Structure 1
Amino acid sequence: MVFKKMMRAFGVGGPTVDTVLANPNTRPGLALEGQVRIAGGDHDVTIEGIVLGLVTRVESEHGDNLIEFHRLPVSGPFQLAKGEQRELPFSFPVPWETPVTDVYGQRLHGMTMGLRTELAVAKAVDKGDLDHVAVHPLPSQERILDAFARLGFRFKNADLEHGAIYGVRMTLPFYQEIEFYPPPQYAGAINEVEVTFIADPEGVEVVLEFDKRGGFLQPGHDAYGRFRVSHAEADTTDWTAVVEQWVSEAAGRYQGLRSAGGFGAPGHGAPGYGAPGYAHGGGYGHGGGYGHHGHYAGHGHGRGGMGMGGVAAGVAGGVLGGMILGEAMEEVFEDDGGGEDE
C-alpha cells in the first residue's frame, strides 16, 4: 500500500515535497518505511533540513492539543537546483509506547495519528501535510482486548491523557485509555473499565482502572490493578480466564484482597498469572511483587462521545460492536494551526 501527501513549500514556484509511505500500517516497536521525494521549483534554493514527526491529539486540563511526540531528521542542509528531483529514503522507528489507533482494521473512536513532513528553507519552516498512520496492537495487547470482548465488554471510547502513571516507567508525556462498558454479569458492580498499555521491548505493562458502583451506605470508588505481560507469553496464555479473574477480583467476587503471587488464573489459566492486588479510592493495593498506581499525574478526565451497540458474533464483533469509527483525518487535523504543544 502506498500513501501520499504532497505540499508545495513557500508559495508558487517553490519546491514540491511528496512523502510516500510504503505502508501506513504499523505496530509499536516497528518502523514506517518510505521516501521523501522533493522536486525543485522555478529557482535554486537551499534546503536547510527535512524532518518527519509523529503527531497525535492529547487531552489535558487546557483542552485537546496536537503534539509531536517523536522526530526523525531525514536530511541536513543541501542545495536543490531548479527542477532537480531527489528521493530521500527513511525508516521511521515507532516508539514502543505509541498508542493503538486501529483494531481489526477499524479506527478507534477518539484516536488520531499522523506523520508530518517538515521542510526548512531560508530560515522558515513549512510543516506541510499529515500522512495518516494506523497503529495496530501488539499480539499481547490484542489478546487482552480479545479477552475483554469474549467476556462481553463493549467498547466505549479511547483517548490520550497528558501526564504519567504513578510507578510506571514511561518515556512519552501521555498515556492511552481504552474504555469499556461491562457485560450484565458485572454491571451491578462496575460502571466501566479503562485499560492502559505501556509497552517496551520486553513486554507490556497493563494498568486497569475500574469505576465501581456504590452500594448500601457505601459510595462508589475506583479500583486499580497493574500487571506485566511478556511478549513471548502472548500466544501461550488463556487470556479469557486470566482477564475474567482480574475483573472478578475488582468486582469483589473474591472475599478480601489476596496476595498477587497466591493464586493463578481460574480454571486452566497460565501458572504465575496471579490476580494483582487492587487499590481502592486512589490508595495503594497489597499485591505481592506488583506495584499499584493510586493517582494519575496530570490526569484530566475529559470524556469523548460514546459509541454503543450490540455485540456482533465473533471477537471482532465483540470489540467493534459498540464502536463509532474515528473521524476522517482531514477533519481531525484541520485545526492544525492552534494549541500545539511540542
Structure 2
Amino acid sequence: MVFKKMLSSLGIGGPSVDTVLDTPTVRPGGLVRGNVHIKGGEVEVGIDYLALGLTTRVETESGDHEYSSNQEFFRVDLSGPFTLAAKEERSLPFEFTIPWETPVTEVYGQHLRGMSMGVRTELAVAKAVDKSDLDALAVAPLPGQLKVLEAFQQLGFEFRSADLERGYLRNVRQELPFYQEIEFYPPRHVGGINQVELTFVASPQGLDIVLEADKRGGMFTHGGDTFLHLQLSNAELDRTDIAAQIDSWIRRIASGGGHHGGGHRRHGHGGHHRGSVAGGIAGGLLGGMILGDILDG
C-alpha cells in the first residue's frame, strides 16, 4: 500500500514522499511496520520533521446536532531536522505499537462498514506542514473481541451499523477520547428491544464489554436504556460463556428486568490520548444478515 504526495507548499520541484505499510492489517496493541521513502526535488531543502499519525472518523454531539470529523489519536515522530539534497533519496523504516483501544475496522478480512482508519504522513519544510492522503490500515479484532462478535452471531443478532462516538464511558478505564459503538438489531423472537449497542475497551490485561439496550416502553412498562458491563481478564474471557451471559441479560430485559439509570455513556472532548460460527461469518453471515449488506469489501 503506497501513497505519493508532492509537497504543494514548495510547488513543482519539491521533495516527494512514499509511505509503504509492511503490515496493512493489525490487531489492537499490535505492531505496525513500514518505510517512508523521501526523494529530494530540484533544490536542497531543510526538513524540520517527519511524523506519522493514526487518523479515524469520529462523531461528536453538539446540542441537538451531531457531526463527524477526522481525528488523529496517535502520533509517532520519525525524524527531527535534517537536510535533504537535490535528488537525494532516503528511506526511514518505522515500527510502532498501536493503542489497545484502537477500534476494529474489519471482521474476517472484510471491511466493517462505517469505519475508517489510516496512517497519515506529515512532513514539515521551512515551517510549512504538508499532510499526505490517508493510507488505509485495517484493524482486526482481538480473540476476545471476536468471541463476543461470534456470541452475537450465535444468538441471532443482526448488524445495523458501526461508528465512533466522542466521549468517555463511566466506570471504565479509557485512554482514547472516543469509543466504538457496534449496533445490532435483536433476534426476532425477542420483544420490547429496539437495538443493542456493543462497545469494547481493550487493554493488555483483558476487555471491558459494555452493552446498551434500547428498551421500548409499553402500556405498563417504562422504556429507556439498560446496561450490562462485563470486565473480564484474558483468562476469564477464555473460560466465560459470553453468549450465555448476553442471552440471560436480554431475557431479563424482555421480561421487565435489567438495570436502568444514567448508564455508561459520558460524552466529552479530548485530543490525543459491535456450520461453525467462524464459517458462518466468513461464509457470509453475521447475525443473520448477508455479509455484503454488513461489510464493505
> Counterparts of 2:264 and 2:141 in 1: how far apart (Å)?
26
Structure 2 equivalent of residue 96 of structure 1: 100
> Counterparts of 1:122 and 1:103 in 2: how far apart (Å)?
43
Which among 5, 8, 12 is matched to residue 6 of structure 2? 8
Give 1:236 deviation, angstroms: 3.4
Structure 2 equivalent of residue 260 of structure 1: none
Residue pairs, 1:168-179, within 5 angstroms: 168-179=172-183
Which among 318, 322, 325 is matched to residue 295 of structure 2? 325
**Higher share of residues assigned strand:** 2
Give 1:206 deviation, angstroms: 0.5
Matched residue type, 1:42: E
1:57 partnered with 2:26: no
1:221-245 deviation line (CA, Å, top 9, x unaligned): 1101101122234443333223322
Give 1:313 deviation, angstroms: 7.5
Residue pairs, 1:233-244, within 5 angstroms: 233-244=236-247
Give 1:104 deviation, angstroms: 1.3
- 1:184 is paired with a residue of what secondary structure? coil
1:205–1:228 Cα contact (<8 Å) kept: yes
- 1:218 is paired with a residue of what secondary structure? coil
- 2:295 is paired with a residue of what secondary structure? coil
Give 1:220 deviation, angstroms: 1.5
Give 1:295 deviation, angstroms: 4.8
1:191-227 deviation line (CA, Å, top 9, x unaligned): 1100000111101100000011222232321101101
> Counterparts of 1:299 and 1:184 in 2: how far apart (Å)?
35
1:195 partnered with 2:198: yes
Matched residue type, 1:8: M
Give 1:124 deviation, angstroms: 0.4
1:228 partnered with 2:208: no
1:139–1:231 Cα contact (<8 Å) kept: no
1:204–1:231 Cα contact (<8 Å) kept: yes
Give 1:314 deviation, angstroms: 1.6
Structure 2 equivalent of residue 120 of structure 1: 124
> Counterparts of 1:109 and 1:163 in 2: how far apart (Å)?
21
Which among 77, 84, 88 is matched to residue 84 of structure 1? 88
Aligned residues: 280
Give 1:117 deviation, angstroms: 0.2
> Counterparts of 1:249 and 1:105 in 2: how far apart (Å)?
35
Structure 1 equivalent of residue 208 of structure 2: 205
1:161–1:175 Cα contact (<8 Å) kept: yes
1:140–1:233 Cα contact (<8 Å) kept: no
1:214 partnered with 2:212: no
1:13-71 deviation line (CA, Å, top 9, x unaligned): 11111100002101110111001111111110111100100001100124101110000
Residue pairs, 1:63-78, within 5 angstroms: 63-78=67-82
- 1:43 is paired with a residue of what secondary structure? coil
CA gap 1:313/1:119 in 2 versus in 1, 3 angstroms: closer
1:65-88 deviation line (CA, Å, top 9, x unaligned): 111000000111111111111111
CA gap 1:69/1:245 in 2 versus in 1, 3 angstroms: same
Structure 1 unaligned spans of 5+ = 257-277, 284-293, 301-311, 329-342
CA gap 1:236/1:167 in 2 versus in 1, 3 angstroms: closer
- 1:185 is paired with a residue of what secondary structure? coil
> Counterparts of 1:95 and 1:197 in 2: how far apart (Å)?
13
Taking only aligned residues, the RMSD between alpha carbons, in angstroms, comes to 2.2
Which among 262, 265, 271 is matched to residue 296 of structure 1? 265
> Counterparts of 2:286 and 2:34 in 1: how far apart (Å)?
34
1:152-193 deviation line (CA, Å, top 9, x unaligned): 00000001111111121111111110000011121x121110
1:144–1:243 Cα contact (<8 Å) kept: no
1:150–1:315 Cα contact (<8 Å) kept: no
Give 1:250 deviation, angstroms: 3.2
- 2:239 is paired with a residue of what secondary structure? coil
> Counterparts of 1:200 and 1:313 in 2: how far apart (Å)?
28
> Counterparts of 1:245 and 1:77 in 2: how far apart (Å)?
59
Q: What is the TM-score when the length of structure 2 is the normalising length?
A: 0.88
1:155–1:321 Cα contact (<8 Å) kept: no
2:159–2:294 Cα contact (<8 Å) kept: no
1:256-289 deviation line (CA, Å, top 9, x unaligned): 5xxxxxxxxxxxxxxxxxxxxx431x34xxxxxx
Segment of structure 1 superposing worse, 315-324 or 194-203: 315-324
- 2:217 is paired with a residue of what secondary structure? coil
